[in-house]
Amino acid sequence: MVPWAVFRKPLAKALKRSDGARGGRPPYDAVLMVKIIVLQALYSLSDDQAEFQIQDRLSFMRFLGLTWRPI
């Protein structure tokens, strides 16, 4: 079991994020992105393949803490 929350503070410190004053879409959660990178490394997935697998596999969604919604 990996305590993913411990990565939140170092990631926030390392990532330069805008304050959102200029508008735009809010950034994805940094811990979520690290988890996606872990999945990509474990399964040798490209960005497009990872996006497909995340939407297709319930195990990936569960690992990432996402909920399934029908299209």
| pLDDT (average), residues 9-28 | 83
Residue 42 falls inside a structural domain: yes
Domains contained in the chain, number: 1
pLDDT for 47: 96
Residue 71 falls inside a structural domain: no
Alpha-carbon distance values, 3 to 6, 7, 8 (Å)? 6, 8, 10
Residue 9 falls inside a structural domain: no
Residue 51 falls inside a structural domain: yes
pLDDT band at 1 (very low <50, low <70, confident <90, very high): confident
pTM of the model: 0.82
Residue 15 falls inside a structural domain: no
* Range of the structural domain that residue 60 is part of: 28-66
Residue 6 falls inside a structural domain: no
Which contacts (CB < 8 Å, 24+ apart) does range 6-11 have? Answer: 7/31, 7/34
Residue 55 falls inside a structural domain: yes
pLDDT digits (tens, 9 = 90+) for 25-68: 888 899 999 999 999 999 999 999 999 999 999 999 999 999 87
